[in-house]
Amino acid sequence: MMDQVNLGLVGGGTVGGGVWQALQRNGDLMAARLGLRLQVVRMAVRDPKRTRGFTVPTSVLTGDWSEVVHDPQVQIVVELMGGTTTAREVVRAALKLGKPVVTANKALLSAHGPELFALAAKHRTNLYYEAAVAGGIPIIKALRESFAGNRITRIAGIVNGTCNYILTRMKLEGAEFSEVLADAQRLGYAEAEPSLDIDGHDAAHKIGILASLAHGFWVRPEAIHTEGIRHLSKLDIQFAGQLGYTIKLLGIIQPVASAAPSAAKKGRNTKKAPDDGQASGIQVSVYPALVPNTHVLASVNHAFNAVAVRGDTVGDTLFYGRGAGQDPTASSVLGDLADAALDLRAGNHHRVPPFAAHNGQGRVVPMDTIASRFYVRLDVSDRPGVFARIATVLARAQIGISSIIQPEGHSGETVPVILMLDAASNQSVRKALATIGKLPVVKSKPVVLRVENLD
């Protein structure tokens, strides 16, 4: 008879329901591929009486997660309830019993990853979390296993589907952020309380996990420079388009050497990945950036995610797919379950550790010290001498201007002006723009976006 591995699910909502249904649909196929059968024997939900879009036998359902975790039949615990409080208890309790855990919970890992990894190691078991980053895209396995022979020299990712959906519609429809957000909420692409997504925090949770895996030290969420997209206007999307760029919320992870303002060369982005050993640290950041239309990330649209990984051995790779949703996320959970079940059967509790700290010197570099090229939009008085005043402030800060554009078709007391700046440190640009923002001829807060050539 074929081996069976018994699963206990905590959570039967979007993802938990997806896992249950996918196992009903593809359980035989998985059994044929793996040589063992995955069987859900217990499932905890908040309200076992609630009607669901799928049927679970009452003998399997419970309202008490601890019954699932402590059931001696349950060999693998699958945490799909979300949150960082009870979910942490669930995962801790399972690991303490030596049971492997599969989770999709990026917020939990972001907040408590090192504690949970240490607990897994202590109790000679494992923690699997493919579904926590980029939904159905197998990026965790790629970084942890497939690219084990690479030094990762850059990761650039679109990892928040809600933001990408909003930015895509702003571009295609010429619509304002607030209109598209309201529509996205109505259609279920954005939460009623959207700040986790649109202020960049969800992307930062995921980028922190990828950075930790790629660079071998745990990146705390507070260390990640995070900006969202709520300040963007359709004007920025349009002007970026006229200049040959598309605005994307990008997570950027890359080793940086040194980026003093004097290192900035005219018209070039000096933010180069140094040879290993010379890195003064790693840039780990999330912000909206102008991406050249010729780069593949510029054409990742709607709710899709994509992660571009560059390794010194493999070169450039791209992972593309659905970053959320019931089936794509369930697909990643099932992939982890296959690994966990095969590891269990092989008696191999640490075939691949959940996170291997291998870089004691690793640190995240403050954004202020990093050099970038910039797009700046100013609303200025429509009268002579304005450019000269702005240029003087930038010249004093030794920031070069690669182009100034005053788009046609705007009339009135104030008009927009677009500046494309040469590479300069984030600190010097921040300070110069604070001064420019106070000039009487500048009528609103400057909009500042980085330009990422990704070459």
Ligand X SMILES: NC(=O)c1ccc[n+]([C@@H]2O[C@H](COP(=O)([O-])OP(=O)(O)OC[C@H]3O[C@@H](n4cnc5c(N)ncnc54)[C@H](OP(=O)(O)O)[C@@H]3O)[C@@H](O)[C@H]2O)c1
Q: Which residues are catalytic?
A: 206
User: Cβ 193 to ligand X, closest distance in Å?
Assistant: 13
Q: Could you tell me which residues are beta bridge partners of residue 264?
A: none
Question: Of the listed pieces 38-46, 140-148, 186-194, 289-297, which binds ligand X according to CB under 6 A?
Answer: 38-46
Considering only the stretches 14-22, 33-41, 217-225, 297-305, report the one whose residues sit in contact with ligand X under the rule CB under 6 A.
14-22
Q: Is 329 in the site for ligand X (CB under 6 A)?
A: yes
Q: Which is nearer to ligand X, 107 or 214 (CB)?
A: 107
Positive or negative torsion for Cα 381, 382, 387, 389: negative
Nearest distance from C-beta of residue 80 to ligand X, angstroms? 5
Q: Which is nearer to ligand X, 132 or 240 (CB)?
A: 132
From 23, 40, 45, 229, residue interacting with ligand X (rule: CB under 6 A): 45
* Closest residue to ligand X in the complex (CB): 13
Residue tagged 């690793």 (tokens): 362
Regarding 21 and contact with ligand X (CB under 6 A), the answer is no
- Angle subtended by helix axes 234-242 and 161-173, to nearest 10: 70
Q: Is 65 in the site for ligand X (CB under 6 A)?
A: yes
Q: Which residues of 290-327 are buried (b: 16+ CB within 10 A; e: fewer)?
A: bbbeebebbebbebbbbbbbbbeeeeeeebbbbbbbbb
Q: Does 14 bind ligand X (CB under 6 A)?
A: yes
- Looking at the Cβ atoms of 210 and 415, the one nearer to ligand X is 210
Rounded Cα–Cα distance for residues 315 and 113 (Å): 29
Nearer to ligand X, 9 or 432 (CB): 9
Q: Alpha helices, DSSP H only, in 49-105?
A: 65-70, 86-96
Tell me the window of 13-21, 359-367, 373-381, 385-393 that interacts with ligand X (CB under 6 A): 13-21
SS3 376: strand
Q: Please name the helix (run of DSSP H) or strand (run of DSSP E) that holds residue 428, with its range, or none.
A: helix 426-437
Among the listed ranges 11-19, 152-160, 220-228, 388-396, the one in contact with ligand X (CB under 6 A) is 11-19
Q: Does 47 bind ligand X (CB under 6 A)?
A: yes
Please report, for residues 109, 146, 340, the alpha-carbon distance to residue 352 in angstroms, rounded to integers and kept in the order given. 17, 11, 10
Give the nearer residue to ligand X in terms of CB position, either 135 or 200: 135
The smaller minimum CB distance to ligand X, of residues 19 and 451, is found at 19
Residue 178 beta carbon to ligand X: minimum distance, rounded to whole angstroms: 24
What share of residues in the chain are helix, strand, coil (percent, to 5)? Answer: 40, 25, 35
CA distance 42 to 57: 9
CA distance 341 to 433: 55
Per-residue contact track with ligand X, 305 to 324, x per CB under 6 A? -------------------x
Sole binder of ligand X in the list 5, 7, 8, 11 (CB under 6 A)? 11
251 has which bridge partners? 157, 286
**Count of chain residues binding ligand X (CB under 6 A):** 25
Least spacing, CB of residue 102 vs ligand X, in Å: 11
Placement of tokens 């855990």 in the chain: 101
Identify which range of 104-112, 169-177, 262-270, 409-417 contacts ligand X by CB under 6 A.
104-112
Q: CA-to-CA distance for 201 and 27, rounded, in angstroms?
A: 35
Rule CB under 6 A: is residue 12 a binding residue for ligand X? yes
Distance CA 63, CA 78 (A): 15
Does 209 bind ligand X (CB under 6 A)? Our answer is no
Among 10, 60, 156, 297, binds ligand X (CB under 6 A): 10
- Sequence-distant (6+) residues with CB within 8 A of 196 are 202
Name which of 46 and 265 has its Cβ closer to ligand X. 46
Q: Which residues bind ligand X (CB under 6 A)?
A: 10-16, 44-47, 50, 65, 80-82, 86, 104-106, 131, 135, 324-325, 329
